[in-house]
């Protein structure tokens, strides 16, 4: 299969497509490697992950260039990719020695507590199948690799077919770091072939999927055969509220980048903007003016902050949604067009006069599009939260205000896995991340991710 540069539409390399036979081989290798890897001394696994992190940092420039070529990322995002990946690996490198159980006061079967020792063990869940998206390939893959390996599990990774290069490079570096063959396996292939086989495979104990809600449903159905555990990080339609006391010099660029960064191709994209009517004109014109300072173009040019969409198909989908929004009465304050020439570029687009029932307000665009609505003083916190929660999704959101009561009430009422105040989509290895409703099952990042890849065993020792 050709791998295309989304900035030009031209091939940069080819990769072999794996199918059932390759998935079977990878699962078998992971199963064979599991006993030794899970039994390895915690410090030995820690050292492997630390060396892996160091190798990634040493190859930062190559990783940056591959991120730009393979995924269409802008220079500033590509520049941070190796740092982000190493940061998460180092965080999880500390976990192998901290997977502890508990001793419990217990008196089963009428035994006296003094005659019983009851405790729990945390054990690796087994062979993990991970399926990752194309929007941030190195980062999204490391978010699976790091906790899976730290927990003592082995991994079969099926990356997105649009961005297969990252996983191959990471696998090479993992071997150089001393991670044994069979512990981390990569099979490139199509979702309906390799991905579906992995999700249904009886030799896989757990599936970890990041991608669209629609595909997530297919993953759940496919996993039912052996009732494997499943965690899902899916779509989002994140609400962003701007109150009249917000510091607009920070808020305007903040909400613009929340909606447009990575060309809107991220699940936490702040694509639903709610602004108090007293400042709505100022915010809309401010976003339009701010975007004049933001260049759109290939990530190979450091001046460009907004890159291409991943494919012609995605570009056409976003263009069609923009057209339907106009037809339904939304007004484009800025952007609203595809860019001519090679590659798949769409102008960052801010729509006003939107309503909650519009497609542009309900469906995930996965493109640089913000749908703006206004609110007024007649709407209390519960009414505003009803606007925020009028969505099938519940992944992220943000509140921009200097009022502590407003911030605290809104963060409690917004139904999502993550809410920021005067910031959007704040990411840190220690903070749990995941969605409510149809945005997914489970939490990644932090200790929560270790819970995804471990299982608890209860042990009771009795003597009389």
> Helix, strand or coil for residue 391?
coil
Whether 406 and 424 have beta carbons less than 8 Å apart is answered as: no
Half-sphere exposure of 80 (CA within 13 A, CB side): 9
331-334 vs 349-352, strand pairing mode: antiparallel
SS percent in the chain: helix, strand, coil, step 5: 45, 20, 35
Is residue 267 flagged as an active site residue? yes
2-5 vs 10-14, strand pairing mode: antiparallel
Q: How far apart are CA 344 and CA 121, in angstroms?
A: 51
Catalytic residue among 22, 48, 153, 267: 267
Measured CA to CA in angstroms, residue 343 lies from 4, 69, 129, 228, 313 at distances of 10, 12, 33, 40, 12
- In the DSSP assignment, the letter for residue 179 is P
Tokens read off for 454: 């471990």
Q: How far apart are CA 16 and CA 127, in angstroms?
A: 23
Q: Strand (E) positions, 1-44? A: 2-5, 10-14
- C-beta atoms surrounding 297 within 10 Å: 18
> Helix, strand or coil for residue 229?
strand
Q: How far apart are CA 330 and CA 428, in angstroms?
A: 36
> Helix, strand or coil for residue 394?
strand
Tokens read off for 428: 């840190």
Is residue 347 flagged as an active site residue? no
Burial of 108 (0-12, 13-18, 19+ CB in 10 A): exposed
Tokens read off for 239: 């609400």
- Nearest CA to 152 out of 55, 48, 229, 42 is that of 42
Q: How far apart are CA 54 and CA 61, in angstroms?
A: 13
Measured CA to CA in angstroms, residue 220 lies from 50, 449, 453 at distances of 33, 19, 17
- Cβ-proximal residues to 288 (8 Å cutoff; 6+ apart), any chain: 333, 334, 350
Tokens read off for 363: 């469906």
Whether 49 and 87 have beta carbons less than 8 Å apart is answered as: no
Catalytic residue among 22, 161, 162, 233: 233
Which residues are marked as active site? Answer: 233, 267
């Amino acid at each position: 299969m050709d791998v295309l540069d989304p900035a030009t539409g031209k091939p940069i390399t080819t990769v072999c497509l794996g199918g059932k036979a390759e998935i079977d081989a990878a699962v078998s290798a992971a199963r064979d490697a599991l006993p030794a890897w899970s039994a390895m001394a915690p410090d030995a696994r820690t050292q492997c992950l630390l060396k892996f992190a160091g190798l990634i940092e040493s190859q930062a420039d190559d990783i940056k260039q591959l991120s730009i070529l393979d995924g269409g990322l802008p220079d500033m995002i590509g520049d941070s990719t190796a740092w982000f990946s190493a940061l998460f690996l180092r965080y999880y490198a500390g976990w192998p020695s901290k997977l502890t159980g508990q001793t419990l006061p217990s008196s089963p079967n009428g035994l006296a507590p003094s005659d019983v020792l009851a405790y729990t063990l945390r054990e690796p869940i087994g062979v993990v199948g991970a399926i990752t998206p194309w929007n941030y390939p190195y980062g999204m893959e490391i978010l699976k690799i790091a906790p899976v390996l730290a927990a003592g599990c082995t991994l079969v990774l099926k990356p997105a077919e649009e961005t297969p290069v990252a996983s191959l490079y990471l696998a090479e570096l993992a071997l150089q770091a001393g991670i044994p063959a069979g512990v981390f396996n990569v099979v490139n292939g199509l979702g309906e072939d390799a991905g579906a086989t992995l999700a249904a495979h009886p030799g896989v104990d757990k599936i970890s999927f990041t991608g669209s809600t629609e595909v997530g449903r297919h993953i759940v159905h496919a996993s039912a055969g052996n009732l494997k555990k499943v965690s899902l990080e899916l779509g989002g339609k994140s609400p962003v509220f701007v109150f009249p006391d917000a510091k607009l010099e920070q808020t305007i660029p903040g909400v613009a980048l929340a909606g447009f960064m990575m060309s809107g191709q991220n699940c936490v994209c702040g694509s639903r903007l709610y602004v108090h009517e007293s400042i709505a004109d100022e915010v809309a014109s401010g976003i339009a003016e701010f975007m004049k300072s933001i260049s759109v173009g290939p990530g190979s040019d450091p001046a460009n902050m907004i890159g291409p969409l991943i494919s012609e198909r995605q570009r056409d989908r976003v263009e069609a949604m923009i057209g339907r929004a106009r037809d339904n009465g939304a007004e484009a304050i800025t952007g609203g067009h595809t860019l001519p020439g090679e590659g798949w570029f769409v102008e960052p687009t801010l729509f006003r006069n939107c309503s909650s029932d519009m497609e542009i307000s309900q469906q995930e665009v996965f493109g640089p599009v913000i749908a703006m609505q206004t609110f007024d003083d007649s709407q209390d916190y519960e009414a505003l939260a009803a606007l925020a929660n009028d969505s099938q999704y519940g992944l992220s959101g943000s509140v921009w205000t200097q009022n502590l009561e407003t911030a605290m009430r809104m963060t409690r009422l917004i139904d999502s896995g993550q809410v920021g105040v005067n910031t959007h989509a704040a990411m840190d290895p220690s903070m749990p991340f995941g969605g409510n409703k149809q945005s997914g099952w489970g939490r990644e990042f932090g200790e929560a991710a270790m819970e995804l890849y471990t299982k608890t065993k209860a042990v009771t020792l009795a003597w009389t």
